[in-house]
A and B are shown apart, each in its own frame.
Chain A
């Protein structure tokens, strides 16, 4: 699989939380060749099943979850020819000035989040971030034409093509978490050549950025024995505490802490070691803010794990990853899945 090509396609598509339709089509296309069946649930999660070979009384199920939604903006008001807006998911307004966007009105309209030129600003104004209520979008239309094309509630996405940087690094928008959707595709492809006993449910979840919603309903529906969330983690960068950071280019981080079942953590680490897959260990002392956190408490509880792909500049339009880290995450997921057997189920107490 050409990971860069798939990531570009997914990254450049639009799918703000709650409005993931375009992504659903692309994810189906990417995953279907490796799956036995693909369905969608009520909330819009894409669920692909790849059956395992397990022959016992019941076949165990592992769920691999990566969210496909992205943070975005929403129209709140039209003011003359300009658009006022709010956020969907967590956006730092300081990343928005002079940002190009697409306003998804009656037709997609390119726009700019405007900024007053420095010439007209008193020096003290330049020392303060522009607050939400002073930000506006310019699509170059007059008020009456704008009102024909755009209405309150229309979605807005940041407009950014993917760039290939040096040393195998890629930059673009919504790598959080389309990079993980690609990693899952890599895992499914690799699993085609591996024997695995457990059924694999690959799930592209919706509405993660607005509260892990898709993970809740899909985990309920799939009712897996264990769930692994794949998300992005804070790649190291100047100005960011080392304690908060994982390293770029050193493979996925394997979480431990309340968000991850110790046996799953250990299994992920030992599979990574056995297959010589570069990886790192990430202590997360509380809420991981990922689908793993939601999956854990579905129904009577589901043992969970979390892999994070190192990513710099999270929730900006220039999120940066190392392509190799995505491929490594896919490899680890595949070999982990292939390692799941009755003995592992026993360690988790699943076969009682």
Chain B
């Protein structure tokens, strides 16, 4: 499954090369062309089955972002430890007691913390702030560390992809948004659509939806759908509040999030398609999260846009979890909806 290679690759915002390489290997024989733009977006074109009568084929952009939340090395201490800053939204509380891989050499490191035996009473009530944590690669001196790592190197969570034996679930890092990338790869590997499909693998989503902005400008699509591995907050909580999405209940369709109000025609198309095909679906709780759609729908004079998401528990933490049923149903829904999109009045 391509998701495994995608999730295991390192792709912090701004350094998505390794993920892009996996993407290109997976799609190159199935698309008419692809190019990597100045920011690192990979824009693949899969031409329509037949050119439109008026000579201008409709252009549809389906996107997924390649980057992931990560850490950046900002200082090597005198004793050879690595101080870091976060890239993208990471909750400090998930960092202690974890393994990471540093830089292109993927040097293994650990994020430790002070042993509880030595904590003062007040410290138990405090979060170990990321500024006070560091990565230990075992180097016993600054010189030893500098042989392997330099300031500006990135660290990603070291969480290998793994199918769980007890359920149709898989565990790994960065399913936000390698799940979307996996769906998009599948869409590009299928039969051609009745229009030109631009499969866009974007960069720098986690630091402000930046790759999608320029890619949407370049592609100038007639309609766009962003694919996301999205918030799935369906765990037990003290207060009865929305789960945003629920694991295993199908692809989630966005009506509105913090970055965009979806195009209602596209939303209806997705709903109609899911119902006609008997594919389970759900709506993402409105106003939760931002996605590449936030910049795509504002490209040039505006683009009708929505988002289809794969529910992923524990996103932005070292370990994420998704349902293969959701992933496969997202591919099915997107394939069927794209075929109908050719005839949609826009």
7 extra interface residue pairs, beta carbon distance < 8 Å, beyond A94-B127, A115-B317, A320-B110 = A94-B124, A98-B98, A100-B171, A128-B125, A166-B148, A167-B144, A316-B113
Q: Is the CB of B117 within 8 A of A95?
A: no
B138 near A: Cβ within 8 Å? yes
Q: Mark B78-101, 1 if CB is under 8 A from A, else 0.
A: 010100000001111110111100
> CA A94 – CA B113 in complex, angstroms?
9
State whether A140 touches B89 (Cβ < 8 A).
Answer: no
Q: A82: nearest residue on chain B (CB-CB)?
A: B236
Given A92-B113, A234-B115, A318-B97, answer yes or no on A117-B314 (Cβ-Cβ < 8 Å).
Answer: yes
Is A163's beta carbon under 8 Å from chain B?
Answer: yes
Partner of A315 from the list B115, B132, B134, B316 (CB cut-off 8 Å) is: B115
Are the C-beta atoms of A165 and B137 separated by less than 8 Å?
yes
Q: How far is the CA of A320 from the CA of B167 in the complex (A)?
A: 33
Comparing A119-127, A181-189, A222-230, A261-269, the segment that makes contact with chain B is A119-127
Give the distance in Å from the alpha carbon of A312 to the alpha carbon of B137 in the complex: 12
Indicate whether B107 reaches chain A with its CB closer than 8 angstroms: yes
Which residues of A116-171 have CB atoms within 8 Å of chain B's CB atoms?
Answer: 116-121, 126-130, 134, 136, 138-141, 145, 149, 160, 163-169, 171
Q: Are A80 and B236 in contact (CB under 8 A)?
A: yes
Residue of B nearest to A319 (CB): B112
Is B35's beta carbon under 8 Å from chain A? no
Give per-residue flags for B101-140: 1 if the beta carbon is below 8 A from chain A beta carbons, else 0: 0000001111111111111000011111000101011111
Residue B272 is within 8 A (CB to CB) of chain A in the complex? no
Question: Smallest distance from the beta carbon of A243 to chain B beta carbons, Å?
Answer: 10
Count class of interface residues, chain B: 35 or more
Task: List, in ascending order, chain B residues with CB within 8 A of A289's CB.
Answer: 117
* Interface pair A98/B112, CB less than 8 Å apart: no
**Closest Cβ neighbor of A95 among chain B residues:** B97
User: What's the Cα separation between A244 and B79 when bound, in Å?
Assistant: 18
Partner pick for A117 among B98, B108, B236, B315, CB 8 A cutoff: B315
Tell whether, in the assembled complex, residue A140 and residue B117 are in contact, meaning their CB atoms are under 8 Å apart.
no
Question: Given contacts A117-B314, A119-B288, is CB(A167)–CB(B139) below 8 Å?
Answer: yes
Min CB distance A310 to B, Å, is: 12
Which A residues are in CB contact (< 8 Å) with B137?
165-166
Question: Contact check: which of A80, A119, A138, A313 meets B110 at CB < 8 Å?
Answer: A313
**B317 partner, pick from A98, A126, A171, A320, beta carbons under 8 A:** A98
Instruction: Give the complex CA separation of A249 and B108 in angstroms.
Output: 19
Q: Mark A246-273, 1 if CB is under 8 A from B, else 0.
A: 0011000000000000000000000000
Decide if A308 is an interface residue (CB 8 Å cutoff): no
Residues of A within 8 A of B140 (CB): 166-167, 169, 248-249
B144's contact among A110, A114, A126, A166, by CB below 8 Å, is which?
Answer: A166
Given A94-B128, A130-B93, A140-B164, CB of A117 within 8 Å of CB of B233: yes
B33 within 8 A of A: no
Query: Would you call A6 an interface residue if the criterion is a C-beta within 8 Å of the partner chain's C-beta atoms?
Result: no
B116 touches A166 (CB 8 A): no
Bound CA span A166–B116, Å: 25
Instruction: Give 1 or 0 for each of B149-168: 1 = CB within 8 Å of chain A CB.
Output: 00000000001001011110
Residue of B110, B233, B289 near A116 (CB, 8 A) is B233
Q: State how many angstroms separate the Cβ of B86 from the closest Cβ of chain A.
A: 10
The contact sample of 5 A-B pairs, CB cut-off 8 A, is: A95-B113, A120-B288, A129-B93, A316-B112, A318-B98
The reply to whether the CB of A301 lies closer than 8 angstroms to some CB of chain B is no
- Cβ-closest 9 pairs across A and B: A165-B138, A313-B112, A169-B138, A318-B110, A314-B115, A166-B138, A98-B317, A92-B116, A316-B97
The answer, yes or no, to whether A13 is at the interface (CB within 8 Å) is no
Q: Report chain B residues within 8 Å CB of A95.
A: 96-97, 113
Complex: chain B residue closest to A318, CB-CB:
B110
B124 is contacted by which of A120, A129, A164, A320 (Cβ under 8 Å)?
A129
Question: Complex: how many Å from CA A120 to CA B242?
Answer: 10
In the complex, chain A residues 81-95 whose Cβ is within 8 Å of any chain B Cβ: 82, 90-92, 94-95
A21 an interface residue at 8 Å Cβ cutoff? no
Residue in A79, A121, A239, A320 whose CB lies within 8 Å of B138: A320
- Which A residues touch B94, using CB under 8 A? 97-98, 115
Complex CA gap A80/B136 in Å reads 38
Instruction: Specify which chain B residues have a CB less than 8 angstroms from the CB of A248 in the assembled complex.
Output: 140
Cβ contacts under 8 Å, A149 to chain B: 166
Q: Are the C-beta atoms of A238 and B81 separated by less than 8 Å? A: yes
B318 interfacial by beta-carbon distance below 8 Å = yes
Q: Are B99 and A318 in contact (CB under 8 A)?
A: yes
A94 to B132, CA, bound (A): 14
Query: Please, which residues of chain A bring their CB within 8 A of the CB of B233?
Result: 116-117, 120
> Given A110-B171, A166-B144, A239-B114: A98 and B318 within 8 A (CB)?
yes
Q: B231, A117: Cβ atoms under 8 Å?
A: yes
Is A109 part of the binding interface, using a Cβ–Cβ cutoff of 8 Å? yes
